[in-house]
Amino acid sequence: MIDKSLIDYRVYLVLDPDLCADFGMVETAVAAAQAGAGLVQLRAPGWKKKAMYECALALKEKLAALNVPLIIDDHVDVAMAVQADGIHVGQKDLPVDVVRKLVGPDMIVGLSINSLDELKQMDPDRVDYIGVGPVFRTSTKKDAASPIGLKGLEAIVRASQVPAVGIGGIKACHMGEVAATGAKGAAVVSAICGTRDPALATEALLSAWQAR
């Protein structure tokens, strides 16, 4: 069981099947985790359940050895089936109170937040962290809302009772600005996925965060 108080949110990798096609989903995750990524999320909205399940199993085995939590996007059943460390849901997915009842108190539960109104409607006792954004424009999520910018991120971070990570278009050059908002980390996709060297990309993100 993961100690939630020790979660390292600084570099939170969100896997993308298209961007990872050449290097591999599991290979990208392992390289990033070995280089310092503190969380890995499996997000593959176009996949069938079996593909999600099989990839999640492989990821769970590799990441558990590195003590890096595996988060499953959206699919609570897959998260439970592979005994993942956590589940992340959006505003249009199952309500977090239902999710918490299904997964129990120990699993990490994350929620996407785009506005202060959404944050106010959230029960912080049901959620372990929030993913706030998109901060900048992003091409990796087709149904993403309008960017909230760094000021929007900071406003939500300050109002949140749970750890918050920024997400959406964040690159190494943005890490210092994201850290300055008070966020605990940044969830990234293309900043790692699809790069020639995922480990080197992860190290660059961490260095930029620490150099703020």
Q: Which residues are catalytic?
A: 43, 112, 141
For residue 21 the two structure tokens come to 């096609």
- Strand ranges in the chain using DSSP code E only, listed in sequence order: 11-15, 39-42, 70-73, 86-89, 108-113, 129-132, 164-167, 185-188
> Which of 42, 33, 12, 1 is CA-nearest to residue 129?
12
Residues contacting 114, CB < 8 A, separation 6+? 91, 132, 133, 134, 145, 148
Asked if residues 59 and 26 have their Cβ atoms less than 8 Å apart, the reply is yes
